[in-house]
Structure 1
Amino acid sequence: MVSDGAAGRRTRTLRAELALKTLNADRGSPERLRGVIELVLVFSGAVVAAVYAPGEGDVPGEGDAPGEGDAPGEGDRLTLLESAGVPRSLYGLRDSYPLTGGSPAAESYRLGQPLWLGPEEVAAGPDTPRTSVGDFSLAALPLPTGPHGGGCLLAVTDSPDGFDTEDRHCLGLLAEAMVCPEQSRPAPEDALAAEDLLPRSSFSLAMDTGRVEVDDETLELFGIGREEFDGKVETLLRMTVPEDLPSLMSVVEADHMSIGDRELEFRILRPTGEQKWLRLRGRLLPAGDGQTDRLVGTVADASKLRPGVNEVARVQRLAAALATAGTVRDVSQAVVTALRQPLRADRIALAELEGDRLVVTVLDPPQPEAWPELWRSEWRSEWPDAPVRTMPTLAAALREGRAAIWPAGTPLEPALADVGPGGLAVLPLPAGGRMAGACLIGWDAPHDFGPDERALLTASAGLAGQALMRAHAFDAEHELVATLQRTLLPRRLPTLPGAVAVARYLPTTAGLEVGGDWYDVIPLPDNHVALVIGDVQGHNAGAATLMGQMRTALRAYAVEGHPPDVVVSHANRLLMDMETDLFATCAYVDVDMEEGMAWCVRAGHLPPVLRHPDGSTEIVVTEGGPPLGVVTQAEFPMTEIPLRPGALLALTTDGLVESAELDLEDGLRRMADQMAASDPAHLGLVADALLTYANRSDDVALLLMRYDGMALRPERESWTVWRVPQAVGHARRFTKRTLRAWGVTEQTDAILLVVSELVTNALVHTDGQVRLDLTLINNRFRVAVADISPRTPIKPTSIGWEATGGRGILLVEALSAAWGTVPVSGGKQVWCEIALS
């Protein structure tokens, strides 16, 4: 299937714009700059990003040449303001660059235009960075001129193709949103340079020996006594939770540490077995003559939220997560993840507001017994559907539209009191002038609500409400397209004479990408069955709609009685006349259940895979034509496929046998091997097993038919009726001979009368050839007369005594168990069945 890559990239740009709108920090503030840098990592594929602005050159740069960091003038260097991502020292990014130098940052700043450097250009540059990694690409973009002189954004990617077009678009968008704040750099004498000047809960680490000096409060945070501590940093690192150790090591290892303040939260496992969150703030002090580099800083208890930049960072991380959340469930999960651990909450529920009911989308914890009894009585399926009218306190909070907090002991209705006996917070989620939903946060133990928590809850509610509305629209569109696609596919497969068929459809999991794969099983006259599978280019509502049109067209042409190549040719011309930019592939197989013969026509589609009764398999070699909708006068050759009882025929779309890691030919061979090892007696299990390796980034259709052969083959005879005066008599004599040959002695008069009436009607009311077909199967005698007129005979409602005609159809209806007409190759066939005892 052709990917909608361009549409995906446009979606990424729109999400970047939405993410920028959710940043509530003031333009030009350090918090906003930090948030935009984090968005660079999310939307451009960069592994590290750094922002530089003109400033004083009094700080030696990391990796600078001797004397390069000591320029005396003010504003003669680009100095680092903020960075994010992996340690920038891995890629040789310095703390400052001279404005007159040849670095990409300086050139982009001076020229006022972006620079895009591939690995060769980075390596050949006049100011080549020293790195500890392989090749990488570098982008340098000038920032808008602001009160402090603009600046430059440097971004690095490890992608072998560098920044693609959409990456560059996102980088340009985010660079335009950056305004450098006023720089404030601590004077050297203000730095923590000696152990005796360390503040409370502080440490000083010698980077070369690993010896660390800490105060008693720091040891108390780790749960270690002074007499038990051996002075080695490894003793403290061993207490770190393994998942948090890599990020902590990136700070305390000298190779990964750069000059400037750093902040990190991590968990430790105290000797009592308790996990505890700690926050480390540190600064690397470069070595002087004969001195050792030292990392000095503080360690604090981060178990409770504290005011400051950390809350801003949490909100920014939530904004980034919500910007990429596609569904209501994704949004809800992102909010729960962002709030429950920092707030140390015992339970969080997030629900959409639909009319007067709250439809819960995420519960944490998910067990029903953890929630109020009323909620369990309103449980609908996976999540509860709670009526707002039973919770007046919640209804009042939703009307006011403000976060409401009730401490422990507040009398509340049972539906809310059990959510937070130790404290309850209700966050209405506003969006677009209405309430999109609500978030309930509860604690079991008495909880003190600080001003920092209130600020975090208010900011999170606004972000979550807007994201919930976007996700609801996304879910509604996805459900609309999915419903359209489901209604255009067969609800159930028909019962086949002499065969069993099963089908599977597996939609893609990639967002709103609902595609155009389809299948169909069409019963045809004379115990023929048409198997159809197809794939429309694209993943959108247009592809699903075109899929329905092509399925309907192929079915209509098939039931008209056309041979397979004509059916596919008509569908091709129809698609060409529709003037759409999309095309479709298709495989059409007409199976004669009586003879055990199939005729296959392919229009740019995969060949069938056949499993023989002995267990051997083959990818059927068939001629094929171009996809539908490409060439008007295309040829679609037919290929015969003999079938023996017990044979298994499989048709599929490319999502099952092709992916980025698997070639089409290898996928078909793997599918054939799976069919060889399967048991065709359980056709549903075979289909489920084949879907095991399906590519979930593309939708998949699979159609299987096991040919068993007909237990009782019908008797058939045909007669071409010539337009001569004795034509009806010839047809009656042919019918008599056939009845004697088949040993039919019952209802002979009724059969002969029906033959007379149907043949007479065809000769009188039509021109051209007339054909009489007789069939005997299961004690039912079928008479069918075909002509070249498409007009269906009409049964008269009343006939006068003087009328000389019009009674033929009434006689046929009276003598037959059933009768009707079907289109046949531009004409029609009138048939009736007479029951024999």
Structure 2
Amino acid sequence: MVSERRTADSGSRTPRAELALKTLAADLSAHDRLRRTLEQTLVFARACAAALYTVSGDGGEGEGGDGALALAESVGVPRTLYGLRDAYPLTTSSPLAEAHADGHPRWLAAADLARRADPRSLPPLGDFFLGVLPLRDGGCLVAVREAPEGFEAEDRACLTAIAEALTTRPPAPGPPAESGRDTPRAASFSLAMDTGRIEVDDAVLDLFGLSRDAFDGRVETLLARTVPEDLPSLMSLVEPDHVSLGERELEFRILQPSGEPRWLRMRGRMLPAEETGGDASRPPPRPSRLVGTVADASTLRPGVSDVTRIQRLAAALATAGTVRGVGEAVATALRVPLRADRLALAELEGDRLVVTVLDPPEPGAWPALWRSEWRSEWPDAPVRAMPTLAAALREGRITIRPAGAVLEPALAEVGPGGLAVLPLPAGGRLAGACLLGWDAPHDFAPDERALLTAAAGLAGQALLRAHAFDAEHELIGMLQRTLLPRRLPRLPGAEAVARYLPTTAGLEVGGDWYDVIPLPDNHVGLVIGDVQGHNASAATVMGQMRTALRAYAVEGHPPDVVVSHANRLLVGLESDLFATCCYIDIDLEEGAAWCARAGHLPPVLRLPDGRTETVEFEGGPPLGVVAQADYPMSPLRFQPGTVLALTTDGLVESAEVDLDTGLERLAARLAAGDPARLDQAADALLTDANRSDDVALLLLRYDGMAQRPLRESWSVWRVPEAVRHARRFARRVLRAWGVGEEADAAMLVVSELVTNGLVHTDGPVRLDLTLINHRLRIAVADSSPRTPIKPTGLGWEATGGRGILLVEAMSAAWGSVPASGGKQVWAELALEPELQGPASD
């Protein structure tokens, strides 16, 4: 067994760093040698980023000079993540200027930087350490490490050795020179930052697979060939608002005509205005031109260096937002370059490791013991049952087992030719572990061990961040799933279906919502809405708006009042977000509807004959913008067979498709769908949906009610014999409807409900009778919002309080619902079928 303990590793890093610095290829160009020297900080000092600053300007060495420490080169994670700027004036109190002035290094935590006077030096991240080492002939080496313990003694010794080896003479302005090795001819370019026009030679066009006739001179034409994952880093070099002076080097991929990716390396230097004939009196000089070379990265060296692999891994981990994304980035960076046969990455949860990525993913590639217990958890046993794994995690060391080593059954078949166990440290604890296995005997070279050490540190930090991201995403997703309806209600004379697709960007959550609200008297309320943003705040506001609209609708308000109340509520919440919505109240008996819009898309109708129309009507501003806004109502009519479609802008609008075109496409697909199969029609509408935004879709097909209820109403006057008049009206109606034997029970319920309305409330009282499907509904509406309370106990001497008990005893169901500022108390009586029939003449 060959293992590397932390103490042994730390004690040997400094000699290995010095040896690596001495053995740098002598035929490297000055620029390549400087960069390769700076890259050693990532391998031996366990830094995640490093930068070299050199003295520029007048009086840089003397007291009172106005020179500055300007960036000459940087490697690793982008320095801007840690607040490192392009230049630091020597007259400021920055750590770089102080170290340059007194010749003593500075070792600072993020909290030390936060206490400094210069607010521009405040970094955006918190858990990292900064090391600043002055160079003998001027300038500074700056290194960053993401670890609570900062740079330990051995790390500082390695940084000191690297600082001694660095040359501070900056490369000459202009395109970086290529080394004299056997390299392909460099392809040069010159990009004008103000116009985006780029001048290239034929070699650049050959690399991008373009002909001179097909190239239009625009940089966007070249960027279109870039692999989407590499485009952000490339754009940071060519967008005027993000560029800065100094040398730049970047590796990126383009897609060849065959579809295969190709690695290119771009080296360039930003030239300020005065270097290109501009006005040099305008401080500070704005970059006006990016000049440099492009070459095929696969042929610049016999093989890609370990440092380059670490840089690529760091770049991939910087954009990996999920635990699975981190695992896939690690697999891409390690398994193929090291020619490993399998790689497994797992998170540490308690005493178990939960597998995140298996590469290759096929079960047959892994031990038979794993296949017999194929689960999401680490197979067979907790970590303590696997000594090799347990020792590596307990001691925080990389363990390497060569071919023929004795391993426990759970690991023996993972790497019969060699096994590497990598603990993944993060923030003072272990985030997980990574296994690399080889089938054929594998010789572990020292540079591979250094590569594995550096990769483990980066992967551990990224895994911790991604785990927090996944936890937040799961929490918000659970919140959103809870707030959206689990199932839609069954509607008399209509059918409704809904679909929701979360965005695939960011947290994959948003503020789109829908709702179907059953209302009294065979009405239904339909709501579709969209809250600005795709984060936890948007999901929270979405839940508040859905709850508010449902509550106001159930109270019996018309659509304009419902939307106005929701608007005032959102304004009162003092949220920075706004929302759009459309609310429609449909009378399923009559096929009539009233609509109110708050900055939302109009509804789309599919008529029974197959024609479609977008219903444009006047609306109001989005919710939460203007406190006293009006939301006018507009009427709609439905014929049996009409399909109503409500959606959010994610379905009909994108960067490539404008809103009008998207609505036309939605109408065309709705017309082509089968209204009898509403679920399939909804799925068809979501085909090729834009996943950069979340999408909500609500469809309703109006069929008309096969049996319409019988209804009669009576306004109860406040006169001494009001209850008798109400009973007389009810008996006359029931006789006309053919209700005979059950009439006495109905009269008792009418008496009790009308009496309660007259005695306990002021204002008008209305009696409503409804008969449908052998159920008689008796409802009394009044102006008081107080719900009647059923007494828990009554003494024999009590003279009142038995009315609700009688209603409950005589009816199949009873309850109370809000109605126009008051309430409606109702009771339903089940009638025998033979007792119900039309009255005879």
Structures share fold, TM-score greater than 0.5: yes
458 and 34 in structure 1: CA distance in 2 versus 1, 3 angstrom threshold: farther
Amino acid in structure 2 at the alignment position of 1:265: S
Question: Does the aligned pair in 1 maintain the 2:591–2:704 contact within 8 Å?
Answer: yes
2:217 equivalent in structure 1: 134
Q: Secondary structure of the equivalent of 1:625?
A: coil
Amino acid in structure 1 at the alignment position of 2:669: Q
Where does structure 1 lack aligned partners over 5 or more consecutive residues?
A: 1-18, 44-54, 56-73, 94-115, 124-130, 138-154, 179-239, 252-257, 267-279, 282-299, 303-308
248 and 766 in structure 1: CA distance in 2 versus 1, 3 angstrom threshold: closer
Amino acid in structure 2 at the alignment position of 1:524: L
Where does structure 2 lack aligned partners over 5 or more consecutive residues?
A: 1-41, 55-70, 83-136, 138-168, 200-211, 221-230, 250-255, 268-290, 833-841
1:659 equivalent in structure 2: 654
1:592 equivalent in structure 2: 587
Amino acid in structure 1 at the alignment position of 2:761: T
Cα offset, 1:736, TM superposition? 1.3
RMSD of aligned alpha carbons: 3.9
Q: Secondary structure of the equivalent of 2:542?
A: helix
Match of 1:774 among 766, 769, 776: 769
Cα offset, 1:79, TM superposition? 6.3
Cα offset, 1:75, TM superposition? 9.4
494 and 340 in structure 1: CA distance in 2 versus 1, 3 angstrom threshold: same
1:643 equivalent in structure 2: 638
Q: Residue deviations 1:192-218, cap 9 Å, x none?
A: xxxxxxxxxxxxxxxxxxxxxxxxxxx
Q: Residue deviations 1:77-112, cap 9 Å, x none?
A: 54655799x99744249xxxxxxxxxxxxxxxxxxx
Q: Secondary structure of the equivalent of 1:344?
A: coil
CA distance in 2, matches of 1:565, 1:260: 63
Question: Does the aligned pair in 1 maintain the 2:53–2:72 contact within 8 Å?
Answer: yes
Cα offset, 1:632, TM superposition? 1.9
452 and 785 in structure 1: CA distance in 2 versus 1, 3 angstrom threshold: same
Normalised to the residue count of structure 1, the TM-score between the two structures is 0.70
CA distance in 2, matches of 1:585, 1:491: 22
Residue 498, structure 1, aligned to residue 493, structure 2: yes
CA distance in 1, matches of 2:589, 2:293: 83
1:465 equivalent in structure 2: 460
Residue 448, structure 1, aligned to residue 531, structure 2: no
Q: Residue deviations 1:527-561, cap 9 Å, x none?
A: 11101011111221111111111111111111111
576 and 156 in structure 1: CA distance in 2 versus 1, 3 angstrom threshold: closer
2:726 equivalent in structure 1: 731
Question: Does the aligned pair in 2 maintain the 1:346–1:443 contact within 8 Å?
Answer: yes
Match of 1:91 among 177, 189, 193: 189
Amino acid in structure 2 at the alignment position of 1:91: F
2:239 equivalent in structure 1: 163
CA distance in 1, matches of 2:477, 2:533: 14
Question: Does the aligned pair in 2 maintain the 1:615–1:676 contact within 8 Å?
Answer: yes
Match of 2:666 among 658, 663, 671: 671
1:126 equivalent in structure 2: none
Question: Does the aligned pair in 2 maintain the 1:35–1:316 contact within 8 Å?
Answer: no
Residue 750, structure 1, aligned to residue 751, structure 2: no
Amino acid in structure 2 at the alignment position of 1:36: V
Q: Residue deviations 1:476-529, cap 9 Å, x none?
A: 112222221111111111111121111111111111252111111111111111
Normalised to the residue count of structure 2, the TM-score between the two structures is 0.69
390 and 247 in structure 1: CA distance in 2 versus 1, 3 angstrom threshold: closer
713 and 491 in structure 1: CA distance in 2 versus 1, 3 angstrom threshold: same
CA distance in 2, matches of 1:712, 1:804: 43
1:510 equivalent in structure 2: 505
CA distance in 2, matches of 1:260, 1:637: 62
2:781 equivalent in structure 1: 786
Q: Percent identity?
A: 69
Residue 741, structure 1, aligned to residue 824, structure 2: no
Question: Does the aligned pair in 1 maintain the 2:479–2:539 contact within 8 Å?
Answer: yes
2:346 equivalent in structure 1: 351
Cα offset, 1:381, TM superposition? 5.3
Question: Does the aligned pair in 1 maintain the 2:197–2:219 contact within 8 Å?
Answer: no
1:524-543 superposed matches below 5 A:
524-543=519-538
1:119 equivalent in structure 2: 195
2:412 equivalent in structure 1: 417
Residue 265, structure 1, aligned to residue 298, structure 2: yes
Q: Secondary structure of the equivalent of 1:36?
A: strand
2:560 equivalent in structure 1: 565
1:540-555 superposed matches below 5 A:
540-555=535-550
628 and 88 in structure 1: CA distance in 2 versus 1, 3 angstrom threshold: farther
CA distance in 2, matches of 1:244, 1:766: 79
Question: Does the aligned pair in 2 maintain the 1:658–1:664 contact within 8 Å?
Answer: yes
1:204-283 superposed matches below 5 A:
264-265=297-298, 281=301
245 and 378 in structure 1: CA distance in 2 versus 1, 3 angstrom threshold: closer
Question: Does the aligned pair in 2 maintain the 1:23–1:316 contact within 8 Å?
Answer: no
Cα offset, 1:40, TM superposition? 9.3
1:283-322 superposed matches below 5 A:
310-322=305-317
Amino acid in structure 1 at the alignment position of 2:432: G
Q: Secondary structure of the equivalent of 1:320?
A: helix
Q: Secondary structure of the equivalent of 1:813?
A: helix
Question: Does the aligned pair in 1 maintain the 2:403–2:441 contact within 8 Å?
Answer: yes
CA distance in 1, matches of 2:696, 2:377: 28
Q: Residue deviations 1:570-599, cap 9 Å, x none?
A: 111111211222111110011111111121
CA distance in 2, matches of 1:260, 1:803: 99
25 and 82 in structure 1: CA distance in 2 versus 1, 3 angstrom threshold: farther
Question: Does the aligned pair in 1 maintain the 2:423–2:432 contact within 8 Å?
Answer: yes
657 and 464 in structure 1: CA distance in 2 versus 1, 3 angstrom threshold: same
755 and 483 in structure 1: CA distance in 2 versus 1, 3 angstrom threshold: same
26 and 157 in structure 1: CA distance in 2 versus 1, 3 angstrom threshold: closer
